[in-house]
Amino acid sequence: MQKELRHWAGLLRERAEAAGLSFPPVLFEEVGPEEMAMLAAYGGFPRRYPHWRFGSEYLRYRETYRYGLSRIYELVVNTHPVQAYLLRGNTLLAQKLVMAHVYAHADFFHNNLAFKPIPKDMLSEMAQHAAFVERAMERHGARSVEEFLDMALSLENLIDPHAPYIRREEGEEEERPPERLRVRPYLDPYVNPPPEPPKEAQEGASPKPLPPRPTRDLLGFLARHAPLAPWQKGILEIIREESLYYAPQGATKILNEGWATYWHTRLLLPLLTPEEALEFAEMQAGLLAAQGFNPYRLGYLLLKEVEERWDKGRFGPEYEALPLGERLRYERPTGEGRKKLFQVRTVYTDLPFLEEFLTPEFALRQGLLSPEDLPRFAEAKRVLLFRLSNLGYPIVELLDANHGNRGELLLAHAYEGVELDLKKTKAVLENLHRLWGRPVHLKTVVGGKEVLLSAGT
């Protein structure tokens, strides 16, 4: 990295720490457009397992940059140390803005509770995943492994995003025997051979239900119980592990980007020369453009709203009891705004953040809604929160892996007024059937009626 950039990286780090941000070391690396497109396609990692979708993403990023349709300014990876990339050829101001933005992201990754159980060694882990898949291709044929990857990736959202936070008492959940060696899940079939098949139950004994309770972690269940080769189970565990790694980022997109935008503004503005002020204003206007759904804009404006509300006393029973018109004019200085922001950064994800702070008053002040549209605000907010639930994907649970006492899978869709895309659903059920080897059934609602969709019957 150039000497001038190193100077600014150090200065902005000092300003960030002085303002109360805390984060592990951050490594900045300058890369060209081609390498940036490759890194973006790989989710910020220099190495991933081989699959056509990464090549497709790379071509998309490269062509949109080549034709001036978009430019990747910010690429930061939640690791320890934090890895961040700067696009070679950007102006000095753009690089300074990105570095300030990255320090705030690093603070968010380090302090937000949603990221606490997420592993920070994913640079090496992703490389090991790639090596595992490449060895499988050498031993079992590239085409066979690619076809299996396609199937597994069609199921990558069938995880429980809360799984890393769940801790059960020993013996409460069916687990691998305690004497097994502790290794990464995708290596388990190789390091720990399967136990002896269970003996036939005594007459009159009632078999334990499988799974013991309904579970959203279908990928984990299939990796443990489906009749698959060890390399296939390993790939399922890899897809699951990477999906769980990215899940908190999807659950905090608005808050995380709002936090980073809030802080790059606070850290950088006092350092701007008059010549840089106009360029900064243009970049900020593009970042906060009121076009479509912009998580940077919504998160940034909401955080400013929270700071202002707590600084001026716009919270609590006294404030909530006021009529709407008086709320908009209410001010009672308290100086608690910055303290509240750090609390929000630590304990909130997007859903509770929007549920609590996205208010009609905020929408009116920011011009997100006109006074005549006020009666429709509650419904619009409900739709937005629904779209953010479960990372935007339908909630599906596995109820029974021995449905009808025939070893068939029975799933249930948590219907909340939005029907499933039947074409995609049937394709997913077919892939589940191919992995499980027996029929798969899904309870859902179509046309207002409960139905049972099946594959393999």
Residue-wise pLDDT for 42-82, tens only, equals: 999 999 999 999 999 999 999 888 877 677 888 999 999 99
The encoded tokens of residue 264 equal 């790059």
DSSP-based three-state secondary structure for 120: coil
pLDDT band at 319 (very low <50, low <70, confident <90, very high): confident
pLDDT of residue 179: 55
Residue 87, Cβ density class (10 Å: 0-12 exposed, 13-18 middle, ≥19 buried):
buried
Mean pLDDT, the chain, rounded, equals: 89
User: Which H or E element spans position 91?
Assistant: none
Tokens read off for 205: 């004994």
Other Cβ atoms within 10 Å of 223 Cβ, number: 26
Q: How far from chain centre, in Å, is Cα 79?
A: 15
Query: Mean per-residue pLDDT for 346-360?
Result: 96
Domain boundaries, the chain: 3-112+252-287, 122-167+182-191+208-250, 295-390, 394-455
Contacts of residue 451, defined as CB under 8 A and 6 or more positions apart, other chains included, come to: 443, 444, 445
Name the β-bridge partners of 411.
Answer: 398, 442
* pLDDT at residue 183, as a whole number: 66
Q: Between the CA atoms of 152, 155, 158 and 161, what dihedral angle is there, to the nearest 10 degrees? A: 70
Helix segments in 115-206, DSSP class H: 122-140, 142-153, 188-191
| pLDDT number for residue 191 | 65
Task: Give the whole-angstrom CA distance, residue 306 versus residue 315.
Answer: 9
| Residue 182 confidence (pLDDT) above 80 | no
Task: Please determine, for residue 430, whether its predicted confidence score (pLDDT) is greater than 70.
Answer: yes
SS3 402: strand
Is the pLDDT assigned to residue 190 strictly greater than 70?
no
Confidence of residue 209 (pLDDT cuts 50, 70, 90): confident
